[in-house]
Each structure stands twice: as structure tokens, then as C-alpha cells.
Amino acid sequence: MIPIYTTYIHPSAKEIVGQTLDSTFISEGKKVKEFEDCLAKELGIVNPVAVNSGTAALHLACVLARISEGDEVILPAQTFVATALVVIQQGAIPVFADIKYNTGNIDPQSVKEKITEKTKAIIPVHWGGMPCDLDEILAIANEYSLTVIEDAAHAPGASYKSRMIGSISDYTCFSFQAIKHITTGDGGAVACLDNNKAQEAFTRRWFGIDRANSQPSILGERQYDIEALGFKYHLNDYGAALGLANLSDFKERLIHLRTIANYYHKELSNVPGIQLWDFPTDRESSWWLFGMHVENRLDFIKAMQEKGVTVSVVHQRIDHNSVFGGIKEDLISQQRFNETQIHIPLHSGITSELAAQVVASIKKGW
């Protein structure tokens, strides 16, 4: 079976991670700093603060944005549950906006309609790596003084109007979980446009202790005063070492993903029963997923399985979960999207031969 995801581990990883293990310094140290520097240099991410999951990055961003009890945060239902759980973690209320049928990304018009005096922030999710309509979202945020926290779990290396994702909104959150582009095992990073917020993030990711400025006393204990709530969210050095190995060829892998995505787009654009999603020219996806709409989805899934191709919806709308209050009936495009969306294999393990096999399998019909 051609898998829908892969866990990419660069050949150099064993040696690089091994060196860190041999050093016996495995907690957060030089490698994490090196990884952060590399994220900034290679991917144009501003002030990346590495943490131990994408969920931790999202939660930390909510803390930095002062999202608190009773605040409303607007986000799409087309995401993974983590995006909304962190809002609840802060005592705030996730408010689900509709999405665009042809991308799965949040619809700025719907965002506008959901704003109340309690709205504090917007969390756009770059579904599958395709950047959202950031100009429109940032204009709304500006008009209503809202914070924007991008959920870029799928979108490292993506760009919007020639600007790198991770350099545009107040906060941008990445995930380095096992099947993401750049895995650290589990991990994430929050990019902060504001330098002071980045400093705060460094402190809060480690219990609220300013690690760099808390020397041990003669008694042998680190001296500090915790001024604000902190968390155990730091990344560790062996995860960062794996991340560094995986970053070493990330740009080439991204080019490969784009080549395969272009090929899928060209080959599948006139196949009956398939409606491809938008392929805008003012932004570049990082192609974590290649999604489309398909007629008779169950038949399609079964036919692909028989031909050895795994396909998946990846995530259906999350608002049905009781913790989020159940399905929101007014999300019209979300409902249509949910019924017909499907993703075909696109990752570093998809060679041009495998991509041709995927296309041929689809063209045989279902």
C-alpha cells in the first residue's frame, strides 16, 4: 500500500542524534538554540521559540496573547482538535467560523460575522500547508484590535505574497510531530514578531524561570523568582538534533513536494468526479497534504484501497466534539466540504513513479 503519511528521518540523523546522546546533555541546551537559529535562517521564521509540541506552541501563544476566561477566539472547524483545546485550556470560548469550500481555509467574511465585543483573537489554520487569506484576516484583526495566531502546523516553508509563514502575524505556531515535514519526534515552535514576547516565551516554556539569567547559588540551587505562570514546554536537545538533521535537506524536499503537487494538479484537473482545490499564484503551499473533492467518496476510498493507494479525509470538522458544544449548523461550506473532501498521498516518500501510480489508479475510475 502507498501510505498517506511518512515519518521522514534524514540519513545523518542517527549520527547527529547519537552525538547528542553520547554527550549525555540531552535536555534543552545548545542543540535547541542551534535548531532555533536554523529555523530562523532557513525558513525565515521570526524569533522561533522551540517547544515540545505544536499544541504547546499554540497554548503558549494563547498565553502570550493574554487570552483568558470568557474571551472568544475565532477559528475554523477544519483542523485538528488541538487548535480549539488550547483555547478552552485558557478558559476562553472557541467560536467556529466557516471555511472556503475550495481550500478548507477559514473564510474572512465568516470571521467578520462572528466578531463580538468578547472576541480576542483569530486562529487561521493553513490547511494542508496552503496559506489562508492573510491580508483579509490581518485587516479584520487590525480593524477590531484582535491578535492573530496562525496555526502553521502544516505550513513550514510556505509563503504568502513572497513573505514566509512565520514572519507575518503576531504569532505563528509550527508542529514537528512524527509525520510532519520536519520531525523532532514531537515538538513545535512559536514565532513571535515582538522581541519582548519572544523573551517571555523563552521564560514561560521552562516553568517561568529565566534560564539564561538564573545562576546557581553557593548552595547549589539555581536562583530565580517566578513572576508569571510557566510550563514544562521546552524542546530537548536530542529532539532538536533530529530536527537539525531533517532541516538539512528540507528545501530540496519542499521542491520535490511542489513538483509532485503540480503533477497531480495537471493530471487530475479534467478527471470526471473530481473537483480540485484552488491553486493560487500569490502564495506557495508547503504541500503537507494534497486534497480535493470527490463524488461517491466511499466508492473512491474502496477503489483506491483495492489498487494499493491509501487516501484519507485526515481530519473531519472538529466542532462535533461535545467539548466544543456540538455541530454548528451555520457552517454551510464546512458541511459541504466535510462530505466530499479527500486527500491522496503526498510526502517525501512519494517518488514520481508512485505519483504516476496514484494518478493511474484514480483515472481507472471508481
Ligand X SMILES: Cc1ncc(COP(=O)(O)O)c(C=O)c1O
Task: List strand residue ranges (DSSP E) for 136-231, in order.
Answer: 147-151, 159-160, 163-164, 171-175, 188-192
Would you tell me how many other CB atoms lie within 10 Å of the CB of residue 241? 27
Q: Which is nearer to ligand X, 78 or 361 (CB)?
A: 78
Specify the residue, 146 or 149, whose C-beta has the smaller distance to ligand X.
149
Residues with catalytic function:
180
C-alpha cell at 244: 537539525
User: Which residue, 280, 340, 25, 302, is CA-closest to 131?
Assistant: 280
Task: State the Cα–Cα distance between residues 50 and 224, nearest whole angstrom.
Answer: 22
Measured from the CB of residue 316, what is the shortest distance to ligand X in angstroms? 13
If one counts every other C-beta atom within 10 angstroms of the C-beta of residue 290, the result is 25
Instruction: Reduce the DSSP state of residue 106 to 3 states and report it.
Output: strand
Q: Shortest gap between Cβ of 250 and ligand X (angstroms)?
A: 17
Query: Cβ distance 173 to 54 under 8 Å?
Result: yes
Judged by beta carbon, residue 175 or residue 246, the one nearer ligand X is 175
- For ligand X, the closer of residues 80 and 202 by Cβ is 80
Angle between helices 54-64 and 195-204 (to 10 degrees): 120
Q: Which residues of 74-93 are buried (b: 16+ CB within 10 A; e: fewer)?
A: bbbbbbbebbbbbbeebebb
Of the pair 125, 355, the CB lying nearest ligand X is at: 125
How far is the C-alpha of 127 from the C-alpha of 143, rounded, in Å? 25
Site residues for ligand X per CB under 6 A = 53-55, 79-80, 82-83, 125, 151, 153-154, 175, 177, 188
